[in-house]
A and B are shown apart, each in its own frame.
Chain A
Amino acid sequence: MREKPEPMQVIKERRDGALLRLVDAIPYIKFMGIRFDRRGDELTGTMAYSDMLIGNPTLPAIHGGATAAFLETTAIIELAWAEIWTKIEDEKLSGEEIEALPLPVLPKTIDFTTDYLAAGKPRDIYTRARINRSGRRYASVHVEAWQDNRQKIIGQATGHFLMPSKEG
């Protein structure tokens, strides 16, 4: 006999709970005003505009370093999220079980290359990451950032990451 599907509420509670737990654990994400929205397993980052992010007050434009930091954060969250997703979905964890999980060990950046394609205007920036390769030890991730128009990216980056060892 086929297993009865889980109620949607249970699924959402598990996935949103796990994402919030990951994101809230990293102080730098809060400091930069970054949040992540989820559709299924796909994440979209938003860095809310604030005056603190301005690098060139005469244009004005968002600081390239802030954009790079946001791109790198998105890559790390995407990698950590992919690991968490597999675990919580395979084991169908409940909200309380997710609360009880140890904080995830995050991947470490080996290198990160940012291309600046357009100045960041003083408004929100969005990002999405794609994991191009994810092996046992290394992962390669590409990230894009845009503002008004998804087709017109303002920055892109590729990075390599050292994955935490599974043996612990």
Chain B
Amino acid sequence: MRMDLIEDAHAIMSMPYDERLIGDPNTGVIHGGAISALMDSCGGASVFAHPENGSASVTLDLRIDYMRSAKPGERIFAEAHCFHVTRTVAFVRVVAWAGDQKDEPTATATGAFSFTRKKKEPA
């Protein structure tokens, strides 16, 4: 996996097509689990990159909806936005796509991560 962008509650990660990740031998399509792992990591990265984040966080839950299979041979991308945080929970949306097909997502996900706010600087 490669980190392509990480800034201000926003992250993009990607991984190359790899025959070891094939989930369906009939089509050569990558296993959903591999895409889940990429989306989970990318979601976690967007939480980490939130300006108010104070420590490492863990995934509480992640729901993934699969729109279409990822075209075999293409690099898989995931882009996550941490769109809301409370004192203890961060909410994240993630989109995954193959190659340059960003307008035709492979999968979308919403997740909740644990969150700890940065301690306020003493005045």
A residues lining the B interface (CB < 8 Å) = 25-28, 30-32, 55-56, 58, 63-66, 68-70, 72-73, 76, 103, 105-106, 108-116, 119
CB of A72 within 8 A of CB of B25, answer no
CB of A27 within 8 A of CB of B21, answer yes
CB of B37 within 8 A of CB of A69, answer yes
In the complex the two chains form, what is the Cα distance from A76 to B23 in whole Å? 10
State the Cβ distance, B2 to closest chain A Cβ, in Å: 15
Q: Could you write out 21 A-B pairs with CB less than 8 Å apart?
A: A27-B20, A27-B22, A27-B25, A28-B22, A28-B34, A30-B20, A58-B56, A65-B38, A68-B33, A68-B62, A69-B33, A72-B32, A103-B25, A106-B26, A109-B64, A111-B63, A111-B65, A112-B32, A113-B63, A114-B62, A116-B60
CB of B36 within 8 A of CB of A69, answer yes
Q: A55, A64, A109, A115: which contacts B32 (Cβ < 8 A)? A: A109
B residues lining the A interface (CB < 8 Å) = 19-26, 30-34, 36-41, 44, 56, 58-66, 69
State the Cβ distance, A141 to closest chain B Cβ, in Å: 13
Which B residues touch A113, using CB under 8 A? 61-64
Which B residues touch A27, using CB under 8 A? 19-23, 25
Q: Residue on B with the closest CB to A118?
A: B58
Known: A27-B19, A64-B59, A69-B33. 4 other contacts (CB 8 A): A64-B44, A72-B36, A73-B33, A116-B59
Listed from nearest, the 8 A-B pairs whose CB atoms lie closest are A69-B33, A65-B37, A28-B31, A65-B40, A113-B63, A31-B20, A27-B22, A64-B59
Which A residues touch B61, using CB under 8 A? 113-116
Interface of B is mostly: mixed
In the complex the two chains form, what is the Cα distance from A113 to B112 in whole Å? 11
In the complex the two chains form, what is the Cα distance from A106 to B60 in whole Å? 29
Interface of A is mostly: mixed
In the complex the two chains form, what is the Cα distance from A70 to B41 in whole Å? 16
Q: Residue on B with the closest CB to A55?
A: B41
In the complex the two chains form, what is the Cα distance from A58 to B58 in whole Å? 13
State the Cβ distance, B109 to closest chain A Cβ, in Å: 9
Which B residues touch A63, using CB under 8 A? 37, 40-41
Q: A65-B40, A115-B61, A116-B60 are in contact. Are A26 and B32 (CB under 8 A)?
A: no
CB of B58 within 8 A of CB of A116, answer yes
CB of A68 within 8 A of CB of B40, answer yes
Q: A31-B20, A106-B23 are in contact. Are A64 and B31 (CB under 8 A)?
A: no
In the complex the two chains form, what is the Cα distance from A56 to B114 in whole Å? 14
State the Cβ distance, B43 to closest chain A Cβ, in Å: 10
Q: Residue on B with the closest CB to A115?
A: B61
CB of B63 within 8 A of CB of A112, answer yes
CB of B69 within 8 A of CB of A108, answer yes
